[in-house]
Amino acid sequence: MNPQPILLRKDQERRLLAGHCWIYSNEIDTKATPLKQLEPGQAVDILSNRERWLGHGYANPHSLICARLVSRSPEQHLTPALWLQRIRDALALRERLYERPYYRLVFGESDGLPGLIVDRYGDLLSVQITTAGMERVRAELLAALEQVLRPRAIVLRNDTAVRALEGLEQRVEIALGEPADTLVLDEGGLAFEVAPLSGQKTGWFFDQAENRQRLARYGVGERVLDVCSYVGAWSLRAAHLGARQVTTVDASASALERVAANAARNGLADRIRPLQGDAFEVLRELRDQGARFDTVILDPPAFIKRRKDEKDGTQAYQRLNRLGLELLEPGGLLVTASCSFHMGRDGFQRTVQQAARKSARSLQLLELGQQGPDHPVHPAIPETAYLKTLFMRALPHF
């Protein structure tokens, strides 16, 4: 069946011509192409108001992002051959970057596969489908992944809330094999047990791996505070670099249990001090106790998940960083991150600076990190540059 054509309103193709691939519902000429005639995930041809062909894509009339452009070549339709080629291209990049098969294999729009995330844990693939268009061709995508990578197991981590915006069910499924609930991966010489079936996101946060390695350059001192630790990637790195005591804070008891297990696995158990609780409450308690740290690491979940959350989320980032800075020794290192793509790099840096002024501290920005190259940034899609990690020094006298 030929793709259904959809026409854009006048002058609404500029962003697409610049390289973006999202089309919002208010950009479509609904008189010429009524949205009600489209099915969720249906293949479409995207045309300008003057009927200039722009690309092949898929649509969802029930979503704010009403269509996504996937192919800009008239001959390259949304077929199994296209999925195979895009996955092979994605794999070629990662094999250039990494010696071992532990990385994000497919990063949505940046790899030409909007709505698809694939994390690779050796011979296990953790797959997340976030759009109706990709859900509609799920069998083709899984077949392509099997053909290219020959995995032992594939887990579908389709339990993300964003699927609800596309009218999709949220659930975890096993698509191939009989995977164990846990596995062990290596990051920079440290072994971590992770849970692709039940852990946060797909079980691990590959995006901060490069930034964690950068800790070695700056040194961490003897006392480190790691806030929103998950299973201890930052904590164990700090202990491995020589910290004598790492206070590890997370709201999840099961995450802290895994931190302890990972610390024992790496011979670092005596250096880890777990604290369960809300990050803001724990930081206030530590401040009131007079605790001080040589390095403070703040790596929270996204506080700004929707544009309307921007004001409250910005205030949350400012409060968290102010509390962290009040616990930091003069001359100490602050590593602070935001994974909210609605908060830009400049906005995050400004928010941290405002927190510094409110805590009567002066900062030096040493390095500005982003997600690793297995999460490549699409130059025309600023939403793909979501992670900001600031390495900052608190000036000792100012």
CA proximity to 35, closest of 53, 3, 62:
62
Average pLDDT of the segment spanning 78-90? 98
Q: For residue 104, what pLDDT is reported?
A: 97
- pLDDT tens across 201-241, in order? 788 999 999 999 999 999 999 999 999 999 999 999 999 99
Average pLDDT of the segment spanning 5-28? 95
Which 8-state DSSP code applies to residue 114? T
Q: What is the pTM of this model?
A: 0.94
| Whole-angstrom distance, CA of residue 291 vs CA of residue 223 | 10
- pLDDT tens across 318-331, in order? 999 999 999 999 99
| Whole-angstrom distance, CA of residue 299 vs CA of residue 26 | 35
Q: Provide DSSP, 306-351.
A: SGGGHHHHHHHHHHHHHHHHHTEEEEEEEEEEE--TTS-HHHHHHH
Amino acid at 150: R
Scored b (16 or more CB within 10 A) or e, 293-302 reads bbbbbbbbeb
Q: Are 337 and 316 in contact (CB under 8 A)?
A: no
Q: Which residues are catalytic?
A: 339
Q: For residue 202, what pLDDT is reported?
A: 80
Which pair of tokens denotes residue 375?
């999460």
> Measuring CA to CA, how many Å separate 197 from each of 9, 171, 341, 395?
43, 11, 26, 43
Mean pLDDT of the chain: 95
- pLDDT tens across 226-280, in order? 999 999 999 999 999 999 999 999 999 999 999 999 999 999 999 999 999 999 9
Q: For residue 1, what pLDDT is reported?
A: 59
Q: Are 267 and 191 in contact (CB under 8 A)?
A: no
Model confidence at 348: pLDDT above 90: yes
**Residues 6+ away with beta carbon under 8 Å from 322:** 355, 356, 358, 359
| Whole-angstrom distance, CA of residue 386 vs CA of residue 370 | 8
| Whole-angstrom distance, CA of residue 160 vs CA of residue 169 | 9
Q: For residue 37, what pLDDT is reported?
A: 87
Q: For residue 188, what pLDDT is reported?
A: 92
- pLDDT tens across 149-185, in order? 999 999 999 999 889 989 999 999 999 999 988 999 9
Q: For residue 271, what pLDDT is reported?
A: 97
Strands (E), 343-387: 363-369
